[in-house]
Amino acid sequence: MRIDLNGAPVTTTARTLAALLAEHGFDAASVATALNGQFVPRSARDATALEDGVKVEVLSPMQGG
């Protein structure tokens, strides 16, 4: 299926948000996620199904000052 990941079109075989994170090598414990603009808590990623055309944002915390 084709989705939008952090603003870029990608093709994936992942069926859930958790599987997508693993497929793309994200450290699931240290990122925040959103699906179509809605925050998805870490505890809900395994149950969050992906569909063709969804927009997924994966954000990492930044440090600095």
65 lies in a domain? no
Region at 6 (left for phi over 0; alpha for psi -120 to 50; beta for the rest)? left
CATH number for the domain harbouring residue 50: 3.10.20.30
43 lies in a domain? yes
Across 1-15, average pLDDT: 98
Predicted pLDDT at 63: 66
Predicted pLDDT at 61: 78
64 lies in a domain? no
Domain assignment of residue 33, given as a range:
2-59
20-63, pLDDT tens digit by residue? Answer: 999 999 999 999 999 999 999 999 999 999 999 999 999 987 76
Q: How far apart are CA 63 and CA 58, in angstroms?
A: 16
Q: How far apart are CA 55 and CA 11, in angstroms?
A: 12
Query: CB 60: neighbour CB atoms within 10 A?
Result: 9
Predicted pLDDT at 60: 87
With 0.75 as the threshold, say if the pTM is over it: yes
Count: domains in the chain: 1
Q: How far apart are CA 57 and CA 26, in angstroms?
A: 12
